[in-house]
Every structure is written in C-alpha cells, then in structure tokens.
C-alpha cells in the first residue's frame, strides 16, 4: 500500500553501507525497450540484496525500477510532485506502484530530495531530465569527494559520452573516481560490490 503520511525510508548516511539506490533514466521507454528491461533487471538484483529502490515516480525507467524491485520482494520509494502548466513533464505514473511516496513542491525540490535520500545513483539512457540529474549527482560527488555518493552509469553509450566530456571539459582525477560505467547486469553487480567495499573501507578509516 502506498503510504505518504509517514516516510520510513532512512535518510542517507554517506558513511554507511549502500542501502538506498536512486534510479535515473528516460520516461519514454516502454516494457519492450532494452533500457526498460535493463533497469528492471538491475532493480530486481539490487532489491534481492536488500537495497531500497527509489525513483521519481514516473513511467519508463522509473516504473521499471519499481517493478523490478517488487519482482524480488523489495521495498520501493517514489519522490514526486504534481505540477500545473508543465506540459513537457511526464508527471506521476499510476502504474508506478511503490510502498511509499514523498511529495515535493516542484521539479527542483524533487531532484534534491532524490539526491538527499540516496546512497548511490544509477543512471540509464534518458533525456534532458536525466542529464540534469546525472550532472547534479556528479557535481555533488565531486564536492563531497571522500564523503561522497557514487554513481553507476549503465550502458555502453556512456563510454563515448564520458570520453567527449573528458575531451571538452575540465575534468579532474577525483571526478573520474566517483563513477563507474557498466555495460550489462554482470558488470553492474561487480560495480555495486566494489562501491560497497570502498565505502566500508572509508568508514573503517574514519573510526
């Protein structure tokens, strides 16, 4: 049952094991799209490992994440807003059924609430909204480097994309260390394990 009265999802703690994973990606893909299927499989795997799957409550990759988590018996949270006079926003998808919902006032509030509750981000193929979310998460990881929330970039296209970014922008070494590109589910499993090991080592270093 969807419960918006009391949010039980714990606030992210950057020094703890990865628990909350936020899924970013396009709203326009359907169940036959490879991106939808990849998001579903990644969410199903992560939920099977006890991760809470979080997304923006819309269709496409967001819906795939919720459905994948539920296929594994996992927990889900959506962070939403209900806009007026915003014709290009995909809005809340009634098919995206989650355990809990946090309602925010606007797109910016929604995005930063997603940034707040995450321990890790996974970014799939999407549009300008996905680009804005990816860039914000990457910036925050850079600013909080050493106490940051890592990113997994899912899809072979990210290699070419990040090569273009590296060639045309001023990107430092630390910024290149906060994300990993994965091509498929098997690489996603490895990246998730590596990030968890890195965060555990970071926690031990600070205790």
Question: What DSSP string runs through 119-138?
Answer: SEEEE-S--HHHHHHHHHHH
Separation of alpha carbons 132 and 141, rounded Å: 14
Q: Which residue has the tokens 């962070």?
A: 79
In a domain, 2, yes or no: no
- The pLDDT assigned to 56 comes to 97
In a domain, 143, yes or no: yes
In a domain, 136, yes or no: yes
- The pLDDT assigned to 98 comes to 98
- The pLDDT assigned to 207 comes to 61
Residue 195's H or E segment, with its range, is helix 185-206
In a domain, 128, yes or no: yes
In a domain, 99, yes or no: yes
As given in the structure block, the two tokens for residue 124 are 């799939």
When divided into structural domains, the chain yields a total of: 1
For the chain, strand residue ranges (E) read: 20-24, 52-55, 76-80, 100-103, 120-123, 151-154, 179-182
In a domain, 6, yes or no: no
Residue 161's H or E segment, with its range, is helix 157-168
Output phi, psi for 85, to 5 deg: 55, 40
Output phi, psi for 80, to 5 deg: -130, 170
Neighbours of 20 (CB within 10 A): 24
What CATH number is attached to the domain comprising 82?
A: 3.40.50.450
Chunk the chain into consecutive blocks of 10 residues (it has 207) and report each block's average pLDDT, rounded to whole numbers: 41 65 97 98 98 97 98 98 88 94 96 98 97 98 95 98 97 96 98 94 73
As given in the structure block, the two tokens for residue 3 are 């419960």
In a domain, 182, yes or no: yes
- The pLDDT assigned to 97 comes to 97
As given in the structure block, the two tokens for residue 92 are 């809340």
- The pLDDT assigned to 172 comes to 95
β partners of residue 179: 151
In a domain, 125, yes or no: yes
Give the range of the structural domain holding residue 164, as residue numbers without chain letter: 20-206
Under 8 Å CB-to-CB from 31, ≥6 apart: which residues? 37, 64
């Amino acid at each position: 049952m969807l419960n918006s009265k009391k949010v039980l999802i714990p606030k992210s703690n950057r020094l703890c094991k990865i628990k909350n994973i936020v899924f970013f990606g396009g709203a326009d893909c359907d169940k036959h799209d490879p991106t939808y299927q990849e998001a579903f499989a990644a969410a199903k795997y992560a939920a099977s490992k006890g991760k809470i799957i979080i997304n923006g409550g819309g269709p496409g990759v967001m819906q795939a994440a919720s459905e994948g988590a539920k296929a594994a018996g996992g927990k889900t949270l959506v962070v939403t807003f209900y806009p007026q006079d915003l014709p290009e926003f995909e809005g809340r998808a009634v098919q995206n059924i989650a355990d809990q919902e946090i309602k925010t006032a606007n797109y910016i509030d929604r995005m930063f609430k997603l940034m707040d509750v995450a321990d890790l981000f996974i970014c799939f193929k999407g549009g300008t909204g996905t680009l804005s979310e990816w860039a914000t998460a990457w910036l925050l990881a850079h600013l909080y480097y050493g106490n940051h929330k890592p990113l997994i970039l899912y899809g072979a296209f990210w290699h070419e994309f990040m090569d273009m970014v590296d060639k045309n922008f001023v990107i430092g070494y630390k910024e290149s260390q906060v994300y990993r590109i994965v091509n498929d589910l098997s690489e996603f499993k490895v990246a998730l394990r590596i990030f968890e090991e890195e965060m555990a080592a970071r926690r031990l270093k600070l205790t």
